Structure 1
Amino acid sequence: MLAEHIASITAWLPVGADPRHIVDLGCGTGTGTFALLKRFPHAEVTAVDTSNSHLHRLLEKATAEGLADRVHTVQADLDATWPDLGTPELVWASASMHHMADPDRALRQVRNTLAPGGLFAVVELDGFPRFLPEDAPEERPGLEERCHAALARHHAEHVSHRGADWGAKLTATGFTVKAERTVTVNLGPPHTDAVGRYALSSLRRLRSGAAQALTAEDLTALDRLLDTEGPHSVLRRGDLTVRTERMVWAATASGG
């Protein structure tokens, strides 16, 4: 869904020379991995994630696209023992740093891992994307904003590093921030079916984090949107947009 914006970020990265070894921390199913492989056609990527199923899906896609020889996977819990990742010239961490129990430790590990002069790119989302108009749904206008507010309270208690000042954290752990930017996303309508599927997936995750703080009326309205067989399904709405922001920091180890 956001491939164009991810491509714009990889194109913007202030690398001195094209890296040959890249590490994707918290790679998921490989959105960033494949963007990096396309941007740097001579590079190999080490994709790191806690989930074996995510890594399996990533390898399946790499094989299907003829890229398996350029992708290496490492299953690891980065809050535990840090794996041997070699000395990459570029480390990419998209929407993963805020999940770390001790992100300052992880930043130090990255600093010690990077090749001399290497670049560390931290990409963070400004929360979940937004999809619905402000006056939707008709029976509970403003539902999405109330869900986001509830989720923000949940994250404040359980994901305390979301929304951190990563520029300050990078500086405090021995990096020099070379550049930073904000990428604003505002897509559609009209839109493709992919937007509906993306909205459905995101709203399901939003529900899982916000459900306990929602009123019964809001929860009922949200469930109607998530009912793919019902007439009010988000998949049947023609007024969806994708609205979000990505913040990016590009840093080298101080003196790099």
Structure 2
Amino acid sequence: MSQHHASHQGHDHGQNQHNQQSHDHSPGHHHDGTHLDWSEMALLLERQAEIASPAYTEAAAWLGTLAPVHGVRRVLDIGSGPGVVTSLLAEAFPVAETVAVDGSPELLVRARDRAEARGLGARVSTLHAELPEAIGILGEADLVWAGNSLHHIGDQRAALAEFAGLLRPGGMIALVEGGLPTRHLPWHIGIGRPGLEARLDAAHAYWFGEMRAGLPGSVDEPDDWRALLADAGLTPAGTRTFLTDVPAPVSPVVRELAVSHYQRFREGFGDRIDADDRKTLDRLLDPADEKSLHHRTDLFHLTARTVHTARKG
């Protein structure tokens, strides 16, 4: 389970996601950690998270107003991916040991290297753990950050209760789930039928439901995060949504990420979208087409991620 690889649009990654922190989900791929080449995806995941870094920096600063900064001694970044947010949390809580927790050893190497490059190596560590089975080995924490990772666990209610059990008295959980779907294009793009992204969202939502239902021990649980946190014995402490807004014209890195985003839709959805929309995606992905993502002047990156917090009494 990785944070930034897999942020469900509207639930995000990616956190996951997945995040994700990114993370967008990868339609057509498995989410048990055994069929994804994280080393191959690592650069993409890092770039996704870096674009969202201002929003996550703002979120971390907000957490510092809810929890005593110098009282936070240990932070768990659950589903850390390549550790972009891990380092941001370490900077926001300067006396804490911050632990990147992920199921991918390759991404944890990236997290460790990033922390060392930012001068945080003495306070950032990594822990390889497959969740939810390994939640019990994570140890106590004053802050548990679960960024777009909880929705990769079949029984979210049970996992939240276990996360709550990791908190020291007065400790806090920050759960990144939900927000708004990522947008890259206007409603009318001059090719195909207007409203392409809304139709892709619908296909993605259906796919996400199938992904959730296929997880081991999956429980059909409404996304009432405040209620779930309260049922875990915690006191809800506030919810905020943080915006990532990169207007046109975008940098080459943002353009590259948009191309990757649509490539994954095209490869993963197949018959989930109609022939006209597949044709539009093919044109968007064709570098020789003047209407493609490679040349468009109307390309942007806009999304929002919601952080739900709760405190242990």
Q: State the Cα distance separating 1:180 from its structure 2 match.
A: 0.9
Structure 1 position 170 matched with structure 2 position 229: yes
Alpha-carbon distance, 1:128 to partner? 4.2
Alignment counterpart, residue 100 of structure 1, candidates 149, 153, 157: 153
Superposed counterparts of 1:145-164, under 5 Å: 145-159=198-212, 164=223
- Partner of residue 68, structure 2: 16
- Show CA shifts across 1:46-80 (max 9, x none): 11111122112222222333322222111111122
Check conservation: 1:195, 1:240, Cα contact below 8 A: no
| Distance apart, 1:45 and its partner CA | 1.0
Q: 1:67-117 CA deviation, whole Å, 9 max, x = no partner?
A: 222221111111223242221111101111111111112111111111111
Equivalent residues of 2:151, 2:212 under 8 A apart: yes
Match of 2:4 in 1: none
Aligned to 2:38: none
Change beyond 3 A, Cα 1:211–1:127: farther
Q: How far does the alpha carbon of each residue in 1:201-233 deviate from its partner, in whole angstroms, 9 at most, with x for none?
A: 332333354333011221232133234565443
Provide TM-score, normalisation by structure 2: 0.74
Cα distance change of structure 1 residues 84 and 143 upon mapping to structure 2, 3 Å threshold: same
- In structure 2, do the counterparts of structure 1 residues 52 and 153 end up closer, same or farther at CA, with 3 Å as the change threshold? same
Q: How does 1:78-93 map to 2 (within 5 A)?
A: 78-93=131-146
The more displaced of 36-45 and 208-217 is 208-217
Question: Is contact 1:182-1:248 (8 Å) kept?
Answer: yes
Percent of pairs identical after alignment? Answer: 37
* Worse overlay, 49-58 or 233-242: 233-242
User: Are the structure 2 counterparts of residues 81 and 185 from structure 1 closer, same or farther at C-alpha, using a change threshold of 3 Å?
Assistant: closer
Q: How far apart in 2 are the matches of 1:163 and 1:126? A: 15
Q: Which residue of 2 aligns with 1:49?
A: 102
Q: Indicate how the Cα distance of structure 1 residues 218 and 22 shifts in structure 2: closer, same or farther if over 3 A, else same.
A: same
- Greater CA drift, 124-133 or 105-114: 124-133
Counterpart residue type for residue 15 of structure 1: A
1:179 is aligned to 238
Instruction: Flag the 1:231–1:134 CA change in 2: closer, same or farther, 3 A.
Output: same
Q: Is the 8 A contact 1:189 1:238 kept in 2?
A: yes
Taking only aligned residues, the RMSD between alpha carbons, in angstroms, comes to 2.2
Structure 2 counterpart of 1:250: 309
Specify the SS of the correspondent of 1:159.
helix
Is contact 2:183–2:300 with CA below 8 Å preserved after alignment? yes
Q: Secondary structure at the match of 1:182?
A: strand
Q: Contact conserved, 1:225 with 1:232, CA < 8 A, in 2? A: yes
CA distance in 1, matches of 2:205, 2:302: 17
Instruction: Give the match's secondary structure for 1:123.
Output: strand
Q: Cα gap change, 1:208/1:127 in structure 2, threshold over 3 Å: closer, same or farther?
A: farther
| TM-score when normalising by structure 1 | 0.90
Q: 1:115 is paired with a residue of what secondary structure?
A: strand
1:69 has 2:128 as partner: no
Number of equivalent positions: 254
What secondary structure, in the 3-state scheme, does the structure 1 residue paired with 2:89 have?
helix
Check 1:2–1:208 CA distance in 2 against 1; reply closer, same or farther (3 A cut): same
Pair 215,72 (structure 1): closer, same or farther in 2 beyond 3 Å = same
In structure 2, the residue matched to 1:211 is 270
Deviates more, 1:5-14 or 1:73-82: 73-82
Per the alignment, residue 5 of structure 2 pairs with none
- Label 1:143 to 1:118 Cα distance change in 2 as closer, same or farther (>3 A): same
Separation (CA, whole Å) in 2 of partners of 1:252 and 1:33 = 20
